[in-house]
Amino acid sequence: METQVAGPVLPESRGAVSDAVTRFLRGAGAPPRNREIAGADPFGDDLQLALYLCYELHYRGFADVDADLEWDPELLRCRAALEWPFLESLRDRATRHVGAQEALDDLLVEPAGGDGGGVGDFLQDEGELWQVREYAAQRSLYHLKEADPHAWVLPRLWGRAKAGMAAVEFDEFGGGRAERVHARLFAELMTDLGLDPTYGRYVDAAGAEALALVNLMSLFGLHRALRGALVGHFATVEITSSPGSRRLSRAMRRTGAGPAAEHFYDEHVEADAVHEQVVRREVVAGLLEEEPQLDADVAFGVDATNHLEDALAGRLLGAWRAGRSSLRTPV
């Protein structure tokens, strides 16, 4: 069996469920039982970390964890048991819109998602450099694999939707130039901020809310039945990115974060303004032209994303306004 040695180290467990998954990955136990999973908070640290560990095997894996465990039947059954309460809780709570058109139109009215009128405004107007660093550490769980979860939807689309999605993804991956890959640009932002840009470095520091946002992308991306929700998520990210990045670009300049930090958000202001149009007119419209029955799924993807963005914003702003760190461990 092949053993992977290049991935990040396994993070510390956060409860009985994530501890059982961690021990299984180390070859020292069985996955958690269904009754243990049923007793965990669907949005809490323990379940979200356990789910993150399962999903991460589909990305870069972990150091000294057998790569063949990616498709281990026991672990896949465990992952399904972890996914169900997370997905069902989102379906119960993220119910603002019925159809895609209304959901997408509302994204254009600020505040939108977790940043509009929230974290971005705070960092732009009054945030300090230590808060900018914390924000980058929390977001690094996604940005160091930016656009990777969305690539899974490409084989599940066709026609205009596939072509539009591929065009946006091509830009996210640097347009054929390694130095312009957005994940690399974020690593350079982290270096400017004095953070460690190693993939997976801040998983232990990040809260359940940051884990849940990354898990949402993996959940939608790995299930063909959720392709409409993935498109809704992707549309939310792209439509809200340009105005949100403009605020964060100002925050980087005001706090003296550094040129690479400024460049990352400047790049997203420009690129995502174009991406917004492609996503609305080609990806979403093309998908719903071919599969109109996915209209409600697209709306769900928008609402689920905003629900989790709001939860992360609540954690960050609640901590910062109280003068304390938002992180579980210091950077």
CATH code for the domain in which residue 234 is found: 1.20.910.10
Burial of 149 (0-12, 13-18, 19+ CB in 10 A): buried
Give the C-alpha separation, 141 to 162, whole Å: 26
Same-domain status, 169 and 257: yes
Residue where a domain stops, chosen among 92, 123, 156: 92
Same-domain status, 79 and 201: no
Same-domain status, 281 and 295: yes
Same-domain status, 217 and 243: yes
Give the C-alpha separation, 235 to 101, whole Å: 11
Q: Is residue 327 part of a domain?
A: no
Can you read off the two tokens belonging to residue 122? 């705070």
Q: Is residue 316 part of a domain?
A: yes
Same-domain status, 167 and 66: no
Q: Is residue 329 part of a domain?
A: no
Q: Is residue 330 part of a domain?
A: no
The predicted model scores a pTM of 0.94
Same-domain status, 38 and 182: no
Can you read off the two tokens belonging to residue 317? 């702003």
Q: Tell me: pLDDT of 100 over 50.
A: yes
Q: Which residue has the tokens 């993804």?
A: 169
Q: By residue range, what is the domain housing residue 232?
A: 98-321
Whether residue 13 contacts residue 45, with contact meaning beta carbons closer than 8 Å, is answered with: no
Same-domain status, 316 and 174: yes
**Cα separations in angstroms, 235 against 105, 231, 275, 277:** 11, 6, 9, 10
Q: Is residue 216 part of a domain?
A: yes
Residue type, 12: E
Cβ neighbour number for residue 76 with a 10 Å cutoff = 15
| Helices and strands (H and E) in the chain: how many | 15, 2
Same-domain status, 156 and 297: yes
What's the total number of domains in the chain?
Answer: 2
Residue 110 has a pLDDT of 56
Q: Is residue 312 part of a domain?
A: yes
Residue 65 CA, chain-centre distance (Å), reads: 23
Same-domain status, 110 and 233: yes
Give the C-alpha separation, 78 to 304, whole Å: 23
Same-domain status, 196 and 214: yes
Query: DSSP character for 57?
Result: T
Q: Tell me: pLDDT of 3 over 50.
A: no
Helix, strand, coil shares of the chain, percent, nearest 5, are 70, 0, 30
Band the pLDDT of 233: cuts 50, 70, 90.
Answer: very high
Q: Tell me: pLDDT of 273 over 50.
A: yes
Q: Which residues contact 192 (CB under 8 A, 6 or more apart)?
A: 257, 258, 259, 260, 261
Q: Is residue 326 part of a domain?
A: no
3-state class (DSSP) for residue 127: coil
Same-domain status, 27 and 173: no
Query: DSSP character for 60?
Result: T
Residue 328 has a pLDDT of 97
Q: Which residue has the tokens 């392709």?
A: 227
Position with higher pLDDT, 218 vs 241: 218
Residue 35 has a pLDDT of 94
Residue where a domain stops, chosen among 71, 92, 113: 92
Whether residue 47 contacts residue 86, with contact meaning beta carbons closer than 8 Å, is answered with: yes
Task: Summarize pLDDT for 150-165 with one digit per residue, the tens.
Answer: 999 999 999 999 999 9
Residue where a domain stops, chosen among 92, 122, 157: 92
Mean pLDDT of 88-102: 96
Q: What is the DSSP string of 20-42?
A: HHHHHHTTSS-PPPHHHHHTS-T
Same-domain status, 88 and 30: yes
Q: Is residue 256 part of a domain?
A: yes
Task: Summarize pLDDT for 298-309 with one digit per residue, the tens.
Answer: 999 999 999 999
